[in-house]
Structure formats: C-alpha cells, structure tokens
Amino acid sequence: MITVKRILSYLRRAADIYGMIDDGDKIAVGVSAGKDSLTLLYGLSQLRLFYPHKFELIAITIDCGFDGADFADIKNFCDRLNVEYYIIPANIKQVVFDIRREKNPCSLCSKLRHGALNKEAKKLGCNKVALGHHLDDSVETFMLNLIYESRISSFSPVTYLDRSGLTLIRPLVYAPEKDIRSFAANQNLPVIKNTCPADKKTKREDVKILLGNLSKKYKNLKYNIFSAIEKAEIDGYINSENIKMK
C-alpha cells in the first residue's frame, strides 16, 4: 500500500532538489480531476503543514466544456483539505473539436488549457503553478520527442514563464505512476473519468504501451531512462545522485 508518507517523500525530494517552493509562494494546482492532479493537491496540502518554507495553496480546474462534467466531488474534496477551489469555464472543446476539428487535438488543447490556467492563476495572485506530471510522464515525453521529432528532450521540472511571470513546477516528477495509481485508489480520491474523445487514442498512449511492453522484459527500463535524463541534465534536470539529501 502506498502511504501519504511515500507521496510526501517524492514531493519533498523534488521541492528540495529543484528549489520549487519558497517562503511566501502562492501556488495554484492545476486540477484536471484525474489521479495525478488530485494526488498532487492532496500531497501539497499536507506538505504545507510542516515544510520549512511556508506557502499558500489554491486549486483551479479549467472546465473544457465536455458533456457530463460535474466537479461537485472535487469541491467537497478541496473543502476537506481547506483549499480554495475555482472552476473556470472555457470553450476549449468547441474550439478544438467543433470549429478546428483537429486531427491531432492534444497539442492545441494543452496550449489552451495551460493558457487559461496561467491566466487565472495570475489573476488570483499566484506566482507559481503546479502540474501533476510524474516520472512516467517525463520518460514518455522523452520517448515521444525522440521517436516522432528526432529530439533529445523532455519537459523541465521547473520552468519560468516570461510572458506571465509565473513559475511552473512539477513536484511529482520523482513519483512513478504505479504509486500514484495505488495511492489514489487507497485514498478513494474523487477521480473523474476523462470524457475527451481523443483519450487513449494518441501518440502518447502508443508510447505508453510500447514502454509497458518493453518493461515486461527490462524491469527497470523507465527508471533507467529517467536516470539517463538526469545524468545528462536534459532540459534543466539535475543529477540527483550527486546530491545529499537532508
């Protein structure tokens, strides 16, 4: 069973190594209502109780306009965590699927969602935005860029956004997806099923399946790829083997 203590250990490791959290930060957690963002929100709500740098926390959901979206359980969850929750309506579904009719909708959808999230976070006085990307996401992004774009690249654990003045952080970057999945199930987090018509039909899903199949033969494959990203210090990653944790 994956405990809160395990999730907190991942969060604190990332926060300490990358200096993700400073005194006085106001952090907006982007809550998609999936297992990753809800685990991140829960973990950060507990971390703020004892972390040496004091910070504020809010949660923001961008309602993309898909049918059947009901965030009442998420609101109740945030109330229990004593975290302010904001639901921001957006016509992203209409733009991406009805007007543009994108054949590969994920890139545009991501840009629109993140743009709306950053705009609202700035409006609410936040200086940082936290996203729920984890270790597997880092590896999958690396493989996507390698296979489809001939690039050695992944997302960065910390990114300063010049245009908005916000800093983007990914505190779950050391957490394997299997641990997050187990934690979300054990804690009965109010996960909402993804209703996007492109769900499970993307290049990322193909790469996830590829890595899953390879991992059956090479047990430490994902960890080895992630370690290689760190050792090469790709896109702002730090070789954590050279860092002594307190």
Residues 6 or more apart whose Cβ sits within 8 Å of residue 157: 14, 18, 20, 169, 170, 173, 236, 237
The span from the CA of 93 to the CA of 20, in Å, is 32
pLDDT at 24: 98
What pLDDT digit, counting tens, does each position of 141-185 carry? 999 999 999 999 999 999 999 989 999 999 999 999 999 999 999
Q: What b/e readout covers 166-200, taking b as 16+ CB neighbours within 10 angstroms?
A: bbbbbbbbbbbbebbbbbbeebebbbbeeebebee
Greater confidence (86 vs 199) lies with: 86
pLDDT at 107 over 80: no
pLDDT at 197 over 80: no
pLDDT at 207 over 90: yes
pLDDT at 100: 66
pLDDT at 220 over 90: yes
pLDDT at 66 over 80: no
**Reported confidence tier of residue 245, pLDDT bands at 50, 70, 90:** low
pLDDT at 98: 66
pLDDT at 1 over 90: no
What pLDDT digit, counting tens, does each position of 178-190 carry? 999 999 999 999 9
Average pLDDT, the chain: 92
Helix (H) or strand (E) holding 56: strand 55-63
pLDDT at 201: 74
Percent share of the chain, pLDDT over 70: 93
Report which DSSP code applies to 242: G
Encoding tokens for residue 245? 């944790």
Listed range (48-52, 70-74, 166-170) with the worst mean pLDDT: 70-74
The span from the CA of 204 to the CA of 45, in Å, is 30
pLDDT at 138 over 70: yes
